[in-house]
Structure 1
Amino acid sequence: MNFSKRTYWLFLFPTLLALLLVLIIPFGQGIYYSFTQYNGFEVSAFVGLDNYKNLFSDDQFVYSLWFTAGFSIASVIGINVIGLSLAMLVTQKLGRISTLFRTVYFMPNLIGGIILGFIWQFIFLKAFTGIADLTGLDIFRGWLSDTETGFWGLVILFVWQMSGYIMVIYVSFLNNVPKELMEAATIDGANIWQSFWKVKFPMIAPAFTISLFLTLSNAFKVYDQNMALTSGGPFGSTEMVTMNIYNTAFKVQEMGYAQAKAILFLIIITFISVLQLYITRKRETEL
C-alpha cells in the first residue's frame, strides 16, 4: 500500500511542480503586483487598493468592459444558433457529403486568430469595397473605420471561427438521441419543430451547457482577433478588455495597474461562468 502511494505521488509530482511554477506562483505574484506601482522591472511603491479604485474612473477600461460584454452576448447567441443549425444539417442522412460538410465547417477553428484577423481584414477592406463599387451600396464601405460596423466585423469573425467547433459538440449529442424516441414522436403526430423542441432539445441540454460555457469564456478572452482586425480602432472604440490590459502593461508600462485590471476581469469572468453553469444545469433538470 505504501509503495502504491509513493508511486502515485512520484508520477503526480512533475504535474504539481509544473502547476506550481507556471500557474500558482505567477498568480500569487500577479495579485501582489496589483497592489503596487510596478513597471515590469521594479516595484517603486506599495499603493494598496489605489489601483483598484482607479479602475472605476478609467473611462476607457469601463468602455472596453461594456464593449466586451456586448460582443460576448452577440457572439454566444450567433455561435450557438449557427453551431446547432450546422449540427442538425450534418446529422442528416447525406452519406459522404455529411462528412465533407463537417470537415469544411470545422476548418476555420484550425486557423490561428491572427491569421483569421488578417483574412477578414482583407475581406472587409478589399472585397467589401469591391462589392460597394459594383453595386453602389454604401453599406459595404468603411467597415473597419466605424465603431458599429467594426463591432459586427469582430462578431462575424469570431462566429465564423467558433461555430464549427461548437457544431462538433452538438453533433456528438445529437447522434446519441435514440431513434426510437423520434419515431414515437412522429407516430404521435409531432411535426419537425415539436419533435426537436420536445424530444431532441431536452436530450442535448448538456451540450448546450458545455457550448454556452466555452463560447462565453472564449468570447471574453478574445485578443488576437481584435488586434489583427481592428487594433482597437478607430480611437479605441473597438478595444476589448484583453487589449486594454495588454496596452496598459506593455505600452504604458503600468504593469501593476494592468494586473489590477486583470484580477478584476478574472473575477468578472469567474462569476459569470459559475452563474451560467448554475442556471443551465438547473434548467437541464427541469427539462
Structure 2
Amino acid sequence: MLETNKVSNESVIEGNKRVKRAGGKKLKKALNFFSFVGPVYLVFIAIVLVPFIMGIYYSFTDWNGITGHIKMVGLDNYKYIFKDDLAFIASFKLTAKYTVIAVILTNIVGFGLALLVTQALKSRNILRTIFFMPNLIGGLLLGFIWQFIFNQGLISLGSILKLKFLETAMLGTANGAFWAIVIVAVWQGAGYIMVIYVAALQGVPNDLIEAAKIDGANRFQVLKKITIPMVAPAVTVCLFLTISWSFKIFDTNLSLTGGGPFGSTEMLAYNIYKEAFTNNNFGIGEAKAIVFFVVVSVITIVQVYLSKKREVEM
C-alpha cells in the first residue's frame, strides 16, 4: 500500500514538472513573439489605429483643426457632404473615371512590358531597370518634371516640328490636364506592375507552352489560353495595387495641375486636403476621409473577391 502511494506521488510530481516545462516553453515562445512583433504592433496602434479612431470622432464635430473649441454636430457633416458639397461629388466622379482608365492602362502597359523583358533579349536586364526607374521618383518631383515637359518641352517641340496640336499647352484645358495626370500615373506605375508580372511569367512552365505550340497553337492562343490563366494571381495583386494607387492619388495631382484649371482636375484626396487644411474645416474633411476610406475598402474587397473567384474558374 505504501509503495503504491509512493509511486502515485512520484507520478504526480513528474506530471507537475512536465506541465511546468511545457508552460515555460510556451512563455518563452510568447516572449520571443512579442519581442519581435510587439514593437510593430505598438507603432501600428500609435500611427494608424489611434489617428483613425480620432478621425472618426472628429468627423462628428465642427472643429477647425486649430482652436481648442470642439462642438459635436452629429451627422451634419455627412449630410452636408452628400447634399450640398458639389465639389466633393464632382471630385468623386472624376476620381472614379480616372481610376478606371488608369487601372486598365497601367496593367496593360505593365503586362506588355513584362512580356517584352521576358523574351530572349540581350538587353532585357537593362530594359527592366529603365522601365522600373520612374517608380523610384517621388510623386511631387515627378509632377514638377512633367509640368515642365507639358508646358515648355512639348510646346517647343511643336514649334520646331510645326505641329499645332503640340503647340497648345496640355495643362491649360480640363481634358488635357486630366489626360496629363493619366499619362504620368501610367508612366510611373507600369514599371512596378511589370516586376510583378515578370515574376508570374517566369513561373509559367515552358514545357506547357511548347506542347501547345506543337499542337498548333499560335502566340495569341498561347497567351489567351495558357499565359493569362497562369498569371491570374498576379493580376489580382496588380489590380488591387493600381486601384488603391489611383483612388489615393494626391502628390502628382498637387504638383502637376494643383487641381486646375479651375478645379477641373481636383481628385478626391486633394479635395479632402483642401477642405481640412486650406479651408480649415477639419470636421468636414475628416467626414470626407471616412467616406473615402469606406468606399475604397468596399471596392477593393469586391475586386479581390471577384478576382479570386475568377482564378478558380480559370
Which range, TM-score by smaller chain? over 0.9
* Identical columns (%): 46
Q: Deviation per CA, 1:185-214, whole angstroms, max 9, x where unpaired? A: 000000000011001111001111110110
* Bigger Cα displacement from structure 2, 16-25 vs 196-205: 16-25
Deviation (angstroms), 1:138: 3.2
Give the distance between the partners of 1:180 and 1:248, measured in 2 at CA: 57
Quote how far apart the aligned CAs of 1:13 are: 2.3
How many Å separate the matches in 1 of 2:28 and 2:221? 58
Q: Of 117, 122, 129, which residue of structure 1 is paired with 2:148?
A: 122
Deviations 1:128-157 (A, max 9, x none): 211332344332212111110000000000
CA shift, 1:108, in A, is 0.2
- Aligned pair 1:170/2:197, yes or no? yes
Q: Cα offset for 1:242?
A: 0.6
Please state if 1:194 is matched with 2:221.
yes
CA distance in 1, matches of 2:201, 2:36: 38
Superposition pairs for residues 257-272 of structure 1, below 5 Å?
257-272=284-299
Of stretches 136-145 and 21-30 in structure 1, the one that deviates more from structure 2 is 136-145
SS in 2 for 1:46: coil
CA distance in 1, matches of 2:44, 2:276: 24
Distance 1:100 1:10, change over 3 A: closer
Partner of 1:10: 35
**For the residues of structure 1 that align with 2:113 and 2:232, how far apart are their CA atoms?**
17
What's the secondary structure of 2:62's corresponding residue?
strand
Larger Rg, first or second structure (1 or 2) = 2
> Which residue, 175, 178, 184 being the options, matches 1:151?
178
Q: Could you tell me the TM-score, scaled by structure 2's length?
A: 0.89
Question: 2:173 matched to 1:110?
Answer: no
- The aligned amino acid for 2:249 is V
Q: Does 1:24 pair with 2:79?
A: no
2:70 aligns with one of 41, 44, 60: 44
Instruction: Kindly tell me the number of residue pairs found equivalent between the two proteins.
Output: 286
194-203 or 37-46, which moves further after superposition? 37-46
For residues 215-236 of structure 1, the C-alpha deviation after alignment (integer angstroms, 9 at most, x for no partner) is 0100111111001100001111
Once the 2 structures are TM-superposed, how far is the Cα of residue 124 of structure 1 from its aligned partner? 0.5
Q: Which whole-Å CA distance do the structure 2 matches of 1:2 and 1:128 have between them? A: 66
TM-score by length of 1: 0.97
On the 8 A contact 1:35/1:50 being kept in 2, the answer is yes
CA distance in 1, matches of 2:270, 2:170: 20
Report the Cα distance in structure 2 between the residues aligned to 1:90 and 1:6, rounded to whole angstroms.
46
Q: 1:136 & 1:33 partners in 2: Cα distance?
A: 56
1:89 aligned to 116, 137, 141, which one? 116
Alpha-carbon distance between aligned partners in 2 of 1:196 and 1:7, rounded to the nearest angstrom: 48
**By how many angstroms is 1:262 displaced?**
0.3
- Does 1:286 find its partner at 2:298? no
Specify every segment of 5 or more residues in structure 2 that has no aligned partner in the other structure, as ranges.
Answer: 1-25
Cα offset, 1:81, TM superposition: 0.5
